[in-house]
Chains A and B, each alone.
Chain A
Amino acid sequence: MAESHGGAKGPAAGAHTEADGSHHGGGFPPFESSSFASQLVSLAIFFVLLYVIVSKLALPRIGGAIEARQNKIEGDLAEAQKLKDQSDAALKAYESELASARTRAQAIGNESREKANAQAEAERKTLEEQLAARLAGAEKTIASTRTAAMSNVRGIAADAAGQIVQQLTGVVPDAASVNAAVDASLKG
Chain B
Amino acid sequence: MKIDPIHQFNIEPLFTLGHIGNHTIAFTNSSLYMLVAVAIISILMLASGTQMVPGRLQSVAEISYEFVASTIRSTAGAEGMKFFPLIFSLFMFLCVSNLVGIIPYTFTIASHLIVTGALALLVFFTVLIYGLYKNGLKFFKIFVPQGVPIYILPLVMFIEILSFFLRPVSHSVRLFANMLAGHIALKVFAGFVAMLGFSLGAVGWVGGVLPLALTVALYALEILVAFLQAYVFAILTCIYLNDAIHPGH
Contacts and interface: CB of A to CB of B under 8 A. Distances in A.
Contacts of A50: 37-38, 41-42, 89, 92-93
Contact of A69 (B25, B27, B52): B52
Given A28-B6, A51-B89, A40 B114 contact: yes
B34 A16 contact: no
Contacts of B198: none
Given A43-B118, A51-B85, A62-B61, A31 B113 contact: yes
B56 interface: no
A69 B58 CA distance: 13
Nearest to B180: A30
A42 interface: yes
Given A50-B89, A51-B85, A61-B50, A9 B26 contact: yes
Nearest to A17: B12
A2 to B, nearest CB: 12
A13 B13 CA distance: 7
Contacts of A25: 4, 6-7, 10
B45 interface: yes
B20 interface: yes
Contacts of B112: 29-30, 35, 39
A46 interface: yes
Contacts of A21: 7, 10, 12
B217 interface: no
A176 interface: no
Given A61-B50, A65-B62, A40 B118 contact: yes
Interface stretch (A52-60, A126-134, A164-172, A179-187): A52-60
Contacts of B48: 62
B164 interface: no
Interface string B22-50: 01111110110011011001100110101
A74 B173 CA distance: 46
A66 interface: yes
B233 interface: no
A35 to B, nearest CB: 4
Interface string B91-116: 01100000000000000010111110
A59 B86 CA distance: 11
Given A38-B31, A39-B28, A65-B58, A18 B9 contact: no
B34 A42 contact: yes
A46 B34 contact: yes
Interface in B166-222: 176, 180
User: Interface of chain B, helix or strand or loop or mixed?
Assistant: helix
User: Interface of chain A, helix or strand or loop or mixed?
Assistant: helix
Contacts of B51: 65
A72 interface: yes
A9 B7 contact: no
Contact of B9 (A14, A16, A30, A63): A30
Contact of A46 (B4, B35, B45): B35
Interface string B226-241: 0000000000000000
Most buried by A among B26, B66, B109, B113: B26
A87 to B, nearest CB: 27
Interface in B114-167: 114-115, 118-119, 122
A122 B140 CA distance: 105
Given A22-B4, A35-B112, 14 more contacts: A6-B24, A22-B7, A22-B10, A25-B4, A25-B7, A30-B112, A30-B180, A32-B11, A43-B118, A45-B31, A50-B41, A50-B89, A51-B85, A62-B48
Interface of B: 4, 6-7, 9-17, 20, 23-28, 30-31, 34-35, 37-38, 41-42, 45-46, 48, 50-52, 54, 58, 61-62, 65-66, 84-86, 88-89, 92-93, 109, 111-115, 118-119, 122, 176, 180
Interface of A: 6, 9-10, 13-14, 16, 18, 21-22, 25, 28-32, 34-47, 49-51, 53-55, 57-59, 61-66, 68-69, 72
